[in-house]
Structure 1
Amino acid sequence: MSYVQPQDFVTKMIDAGEAKVFMSTRDTMIRAFMAGAILALAAAFAVTINVQTGQPLAGAILFPVGFCLLYLMGFDLLTGVFTLVPLALIDKRPGVSLGGVLRNWGLVFAGNFAGALIVAVMMAITFTFGFSETPNEVGQKIGHIGEGRTVGYAAHGAAGMLTLFIRGVLCNWMVSTGVVAAMMSTSVSGKVIGMWMPIMLFFYMGFEHSIVNMFLFPSGLMLGGNFSIMDYLIWNEIPTVIGNLVGGLTFVGLTLYATHGRKSEQRPASTTFTAAHRVPAE
């Protein structure tokens, strides 16, 4: 069977986190760059579908194609390493340190941002014929998304910041569930099905994903969105990153590790129970 038991895929999660800590800077950056670029293309694809069909569900159903592709090619998103890498530290794998975890997170963040930014520039060019025309309908939509999800939160003050943070938590709860779901199967089809469901859920619900936002907001600024770089950083990216960290690590990594990764002592069977239920010999 292609299904992997929980205690086995949790071991795979810890092994994956350990491998990422010791990965070279070159490989970490390349994999993070490509992950950010592919996810940005998927986001542009989903927004295009939403605009052209008027059906947000259609975009949500098809958006996970980008996530599945980048995962199957072994690329890394910040949301995934938030969940996997700390497990190697918690499990006390030899040589894994807090510094190594933070190094991985920093490199993946930089690589994801670079990849998403490159695609943002490319898509802005395509939406405006090389900045020679006003943005087309899809470009205008991306600009409005940037406004609503920065100054829209700011208009509500502390309540807006709380809402943003919670949406970040919920997002990586689902995204990291998708990362783990891919480890539940040894077949490509099983991995894709496992990843598809939670990724579709997060996108349709409008939760905040730090890497998707690395594409949406820089491209929104280039396409005439009425918000600033500081609006983007303070009223979206930074709280979203923190929410993604809390959501993925708390609701996926630590919960699975606590119940399937650490072997708790088995309670000895009650002698009264065993005597009462012993099958008599024939």
Structure 2
Amino acid sequence: MSYVKPAEFVRSMVDAGEAKSFLSTRDTLLRAYMAGAILALGAAFAVTVTVRTGEPLLGALLFPGAFCILYLLGFDLLTGVFTLVPLALLDRRRGMTVRRVLRNWGLVFVGNLLGALTVAAAMAVVVTYGFSVAPDEVGRQLAEIGHARTAGYAEHGAAGMLTLLVRGILCNWMVSTGVVAAMMSTSVSGKVIAMWIPISLFFYMGFEHSVVNMFLFPSGLMLGGDFSLADYIVWNEIPTVLGNLIGGLTFVGLVLYITHAKTRPDTRPGLRAQEEPAERSY
């Protein structure tokens, strides 16, 4: 798999975060748009597979294909830049500021949303023959997902909001692990294998991904789902985005950066004393 050691790929993480933060507005939006659209197509594919086979695990096992493609093409998801871009600020890269980080996050959010909305509208047309008939079985499932994952949380009040936030955290813990895992190898096959497992896990476990939801909920609204735009924003997207930020940055980006880029000296007794003469003679 042409394995890359953690200390090396963590440096690549910081370099990637820096490069993304200085990307032009046009290129940031284009890459984010394509990432949102491709991931949305992957979600539509997974829902279709699940509906037609009755096996959610099969849809979860196939969904990562879209994720792998968009990252191999160099496109960006909000969940990924949540993890990578702040590391360049933490590493004190020249020109990095909080404003630059927020600019990147905002542009990627807009691009992902536009891409996901494009596919949501296209799928709504497909499953209704241009809105000339009632939604087919896949369309009905898309509408039901939106209802279940807004009203379902709202029914539990604060406990539902907490659950939603935690699902967002767990989601980007896994998704950002997939983003980073692609840097563990220099071969395409190695990157794909490393990405596949954590992405399958998040999808099958029903964790909340802000960009996937940018497709699922708007498509559900277009197809007559029993929930409102306000329900989607308050009872899904906002807490999901916050959870994704916490999960990716805390459990992936910061942990890897601290332990591999800012590694503390070895604490084995006598080791430093043994090394000192060699260092002085050098």
TM-score by length of 1: 0.95
Verify: 1:253 aligned to 2:253, yes or no: yes
> 1:159-174 to 2 correspondence within 5 Å?
159-174=159-174
The residue number in structure 1 matching 2:106 is 106
Per-residue CA deviation, residues 161-187 of structure 1 (Å, 9 max, x unaligned), is 000000000000000000000000000
Verify: 1:231 aligned to 2:231, yes or no: yes
Per-residue CA deviation, residues 213-261 of structure 1 (Å, 9 max, x unaligned), is 0000000000010000000000000000000000000000000001001
Give, in angstroms, the shift of residue 131 of structure 1.
0.5
The residue number in structure 2 matching 1:262 is 262
Give, in angstroms, the shift of residue 267 of structure 1.
4.2
Aligned mates of 2:171, 2:141 — CA distance in 1? 22
Counterpart amino acid of residue 253 in structure 1 = G
Verify: 1:126 aligned to 2:90, yes or no: no
Aligned mates of 2:201, 2:268 — CA distance in 1? 42
Percent identity, aligned pairs only, is: 70
Give, in angstroms, the shift of residue 26 of structure 1.
0.4
Unaligned runs of 5+ in 2: 275-282
Counterpart amino acid of residue 167 in structure 1 = R
> 1:68-217 to 2 correspondence within 5 Å?
68-217=68-217
The residue number in structure 2 matching 1:35 is 35
Counterpart amino acid of residue 45 in structure 1 = F
Counterpart amino acid of residue 249 in structure 1 = L
> 1:266-281 to 2 correspondence within 5 Å?
266-267=266-267, 269-270=269-270
Aligned mates of 2:268, 2:188 — CA distance in 1? 41
Counterpart amino acid of residue 15 in structure 2 = D
Aligned mates of 1:221, 1:120 — CA distance in 2? 10
Moved over 2 A (4+): 263-269
Aligned mates of 1:213, 1:51 — CA distance in 2? 18
Which secondary structure does the structure 2 equivalent of 1:74 belong to? coil
Unaligned runs of 5+ in 1: 275-282
The residue number in structure 2 matching 1:44 is 44
Give, in angstroms, the shift of residue 88 of structure 1.
0.3
Counterpart amino acid of residue 84 in structure 1 = L
Aligned mates of 2:65, 2:5 — CA distance in 1? 25
Residues 1:266 and 1:151: Cα distance change in structure 2 (over 3 Å): same
The residue number in structure 2 matching 1:22 is 22
Which secondary structure does the structure 1 equivalent of 2:258 belong to? helix
Aligned mates of 1:86, 1:176 — CA distance in 2? 13
Aligned mates of 1:145, 1:265 — CA distance in 2? 50
TM-score by length of 2: 0.95
The residue number in structure 2 matching 1:279 is none
Counterpart amino acid of residue 133 in structure 1 = V
Give, in angstroms, the shift of residue 269 of structure 1.
4.7
Per-residue CA deviation, residues 8-41 of structure 1 (Å, 9 max, x unaligned), is 0000000000001100000000000000000000
Counterpart amino acid of residue 39 in structure 1 = L
Which secondary structure does the structure 1 equivalent of 2:184 belong to? coil
The residue number in structure 2 matching 1:58 is 58
Per-residue CA deviation, residues 90-136 of structure 1 (Å, 9 max, x unaligned), is 01011110000000000000000000000000000000000010000
The residue number in structure 2 matching 1:280 is none
Give, in angstroms, the shift of residue 263 of structure 1.
3.5
Aligned mates of 2:270, 2:18 — CA distance in 1? 40
Residues 1:268 and 1:199: Cα distance change in structure 2 (over 3 Å): closer
Which secondary structure does the structure 2 equivalent of 1:133 belong to? coil
Give the CA RMSD over aligned residues.
Answer: 1.4
Which secondary structure does the structure 2 equivalent of 1:264 belong to? coil
